[in-house]
Structure 1
């Protein structure tokens, strides 16, 4: 069993990757997508989005970070994949699942699921462009409007030379609405011989077990579930059916303070509040304490005051 941290643009950046992998239980990360359009990107773009390239392609806890590319021009995708590997990427992942309208309008992400032949060209070009010992993987949804091309797209990815395929078990039009159609992952797994990773609606260890049983995949990629409950990977490995928010909230608070300090250093002041509020709001799915904290920070924008709120919450927990 391997647990992958999913790419989530604007959410799971290098700061959150660092913190989440430091908790333990995550085997591999996939970066936010690097958009390829019209040119060979300079090293600065790769380093900005995936700074782990400058530390051996891993987070400080030693978790490898695969670099994800998004684009529709096979030649350019290949050139940029080669450059990413030269810069230290331990593997290349290809995005055929992003549902964002702005991305799809530019023939990127999930829209390409309407063109299996283009997907094959991209994967094939990238596979030829990077050394044989560098893994090439892809992530896809079940389709754009419907699932009619799901098997064909998976076969195109396999025949083009990818070694691993992650399947988000919904179409683009289904977005992130439950349920995830794990049974379709099982169909894809039966149709191809490369490793298939299941993705979609894994929020608890119980969800993982059900996903494993239905999809027939032992490997899982988790995005929102790990952001909402940073201890989920550990809980899956320990076979814990439920989270214990009263125990893990105390462990989580120092991470929130660390997160605040890091984004204060890395982002402009006007973005710090939004990033902290975003994570706390996602944590509120499982932590009632996060709901209370969110109410406190939602109107506070001064970074120093935000830090004071976090420190006061930590002091309250320690005194309890």
Structure 2
């Protein structure tokens, strides 16, 4: 085979790959314009399945056509930038496997449509939409008995529950009565306490002033107030929380807040995690502290974020 023939074959192969990439990019652009947006909230599972099936079929045909014409699979995103090993050693390039695994997220979001990353992202987001539609349909079909079980398991406040009260009463009886503790002594003290009436609160609060915790100086730091015989809630927060829960019950059929049963997308979870768990640069803390000092003329006791 002559050199001219080899060059011709290389050019032909490059042209075929470029043409196949262009065709795949156009088809994926059409699919993204049609299926790259969130479906309506009231979409049914059957409609969402039909949408996903159409997307999968058209994507499979487009990728198959690319493989036949180009002779290989669509490309993957790679990270060709250098990274710093340490101060003593120069910067290095990622090896082949690490280059695929260390692509920055902002580049993955803007990946060309003919890459496997963009194709997978489009398929993945529609699969999540299908799961969300299925979850919403399941939530809509739950019975009141199922909601009651979930409401029973939902606890927001648990500062002083029945186990804590039981242990403290027994300890108090042991300290006050040197003889064997009696059931009567336990019942007398137990009658002075009541469970909070809020559905999401497991706290017990005193309904008399002569309870055994009255002289405890640490009891006042609990987020529980002492009530009277007619008290239903351990705090004002629980009273308002129960009122809001009853309003939700009339509106949605359950006292649970919406965030407890709403389907959360993985993309949203990732963004929230990065937003709340990204470490702060120490230089920013120092700069903020200096700015605060220059404004007030006094150095604050802590760094201001």
TM range (shorter): under 0.3
What TM-score do you get using the length of structure 2 for normalisation?
A: 0.18
The higher relative CO (CA closer than 8 Å, separation ≥ 6) is in 1
Structure richer in strand, relative to its length: 1
Give the helix-richer structure, 1 or 2: 2
* Greater Rg over alpha carbons, structure: 2
TM-score (norm. length: structure 1)? 0.17
